[in-house]
Structure formats: C-alpha cells, structure tokens
C-alpha cells in the first residue's frame, strides 16, 4: 500500500463521499483544519482507505473514514494517524449512521466509547450515534496501555452496553 498524508485527491474525496453519504467533494482539504490520510493499492493506484479528521476546536476533532481494503489499516498507519490527531486534540468524535451496526461495532473495537444519539447529526439529514475517544481509549497509543494497567476494570468491547440509555 502507498500512503499519503496530503490533501485528498478528487477520487479519494469521491470514494469517501460514496461510502459515508456525505459530500466531501466540494471541501478544500488544503486548510489547516484537516488531517487527511489516503492509502492506495501500489499496483492499481485504487483507493483502499481514506481517513479525514476535521479539527473543530482546539480540543475536539471529528473523524470520517471509508475502507475498501481492510489490510490498508495497518498498525503502523493507525498509530501514526492517532498520534497526529491526539497531538492537536484532546478527543476524537465519530458520528455514525444509526443504520450501520457493523460500523458501530467496529468503532467500539477501535476504542471509541458510545456517548449518545444525535438527531440529524450527519449533514443535517440523518440520525447518528455519537462515539468519542480520548487518548487513553486508543489501543494504538501508549496512554491506553498505561491506563489499562492502572484501571481496576478490565477493558472489553463486549462490556460496553451498546444501545443502553445514557444517564
């Protein structure tokens, strides 16, 4: 795989748009508020993975991603991406369509915590589940390993009561 941290090219933006249902084709990814990662198949040049993070505030970044080939999400890539995000933000937010249970479970396996329901949270058109991640929630960062050793409760994605009411 060939990885780029450059602003998205039109085919990568189109792929992300098709997979998420949000139009990313009109966005200027050259602005400092965006972190972009594109992974391509070296032989075909076809987009295998696109990750974009928009820094909404000094403390909060929002994640959007699309994966065509899961092998593109290497440990090295994920660690570099999360290190970059958490060097500039204290939390990472993901809004995931309520009708995408596979993505909900994948987010939990990635370390995101279910935080709630957002009406019309995706482009003002679709309801979303809100997931958040702090550095110590992220299994690709050292903070996670330190927190896990110190935590009296063992970490388990199955322990998260998906769909449970938030109090």
Judged against a pLDDT cut of 90, whether residue 54 lies above it is answered with yes
Torsion sign, CA atoms 151, 157, 161, 167: positive
Tokens of 125: 């058109």
Q: Kindly report the pTM of this predicted structure.
A: 0.83
Residue 156, pLDDT score = 46
Query: Picking from 122-126, 136-140, 156-160, which range would have the lowest pLDDT averaged per residue?
Result: 156-160
Residue 124, pLDDT score = 95
Angle at 21 between CA 20 and CA 27, to 5 degrees: 85
90-110 average pLDDT score? 95
117 φ, ψ (degrees, to nearest 5): -115, 130
Q: Are strands 126-133 and 113-122 parallel, antiparallel or unpaired?
A: antiparallel
Tokens of 54: 């928009």
Strands, E, within 14-160: which ranges?
34-40, 47-55, 60-67, 91-97, 113-122, 126-133
Residue 114, pLDDT score = 96
Angle at 73 between CA 57 and CA 18, to 5 degrees: 70
Per-residue confidence band for 160, with pLDDT thresholds at 50, 70 and 90? very low
H or E segment and range at residue 96: strand 91-97
Q: Which of 77, 89, 21, 28 is nearest to 51 (CA)?
A: 77
Per-residue confidence band for 161, with pLDDT thresholds at 50, 70 and 90? very low
DSSP 3-state of 138:
coil
Q: Are strands 2-4 and 34-40 parallel, antiparallel or unpaired?
A: antiparallel
Measure CA 7 to chain center: 17
* Whole-angstrom distance, CA of residue 49 vs CA of residue 64: 11
């Amino acid at each position: 795989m060939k990885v780029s941290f450059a602003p998205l090219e039109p085919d990568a933006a189109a792929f992300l748009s098709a997979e998420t249902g949000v139009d990313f084709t009109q966005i200027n990814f050259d602005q400092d508020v965006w972190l972009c990662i594109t992974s391509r198949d070296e032989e075909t040049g076809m987009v295998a993975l696109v990750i974009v993070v928009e820094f909404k505030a000094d403390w909060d970044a929002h994640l959007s991603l699309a994966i065509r080939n899961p092998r593109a999400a290497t440990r090295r890539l994920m660690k570099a991406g999360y290190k970059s995000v958490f060097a500039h933000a204290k939390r990472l937010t993901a809004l995931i369509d309520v009708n995408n249970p596979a993505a909900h479970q994948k987010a939990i396996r990635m370390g995101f915590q279910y935080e709630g329901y957002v009406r019309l949270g995706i482009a003002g058109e679709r309801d979303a589940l809100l997931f958040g991640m702090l550095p110590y929630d992220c299994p690709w960062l050292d903070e996670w390993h330190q927190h896990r050793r110190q935590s009296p409760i063992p970490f388990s994605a199955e322990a998260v009561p998906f769909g449970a009411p938030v109090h």
